[in-house]
Amino acid sequence: MNETKAKPSTGEGWAVHVYDSDRHLRFTLEPSHIWAFGWGIGVGLLVAIIWSALYSASHSFSSDNKHLTDLSPTPETTSREGFRAEPASSFPFGID
């Protein structure tokens, strides 16, 4: 009799096992790890874009410059010892 054999399933998934030189298992990569990493990168980029847009919108001086006055140093600010005027930062927390 001629029987047909069922093909083995190839949709079982995959895993990468990483061993050190002493043949101890160090870590395993599975598809769920890749998905979690991808979601983390995507959410991180989205948060960075939204943060940047909100920061630039809140520090926009193009439409709200009526409250700006003469910003030249006065004798009170220049006579203090140890006073050093810092340039305006373009990024929060002093990171440029």
Provide, rounded to the nearest whole percent, the portion of the chain with pLDDT above 70.
56
pLDDT band of residue 13 (cuts 50, 70, 90) is confident
How confident is the model over 16-29, as a mean pLDDT?
Answer: 94
Alpha helices in 1-96 (DSSP H): 31-58, 75-78
Task: Tell me what pLDDT residue 7 has.
Answer: 74
Q: What pLDDT, on the 0 to 100 scale, is given for residue 48?
A: 96
Q: How far apart are CA 90 and CA 63, in angstroms?
A: 18
CA 29, CA 42: separation in Å to the nearest integer?
A: 19
Considering only residues 17 and 4, tell me which one the structure prediction assigns the higher pLDDT.
Answer: 17
Torsion of CA 52, 54, 59, 65, to 10 degrees: 140
Q: Token pair 């069922």 is at which residue?
A: 6
Give the pLDDT of residue 68: 55
Whether the predicted pLDDT of 65 surpasses 60 = no
Determine the average pLDDT of the residues in 71-89: 59
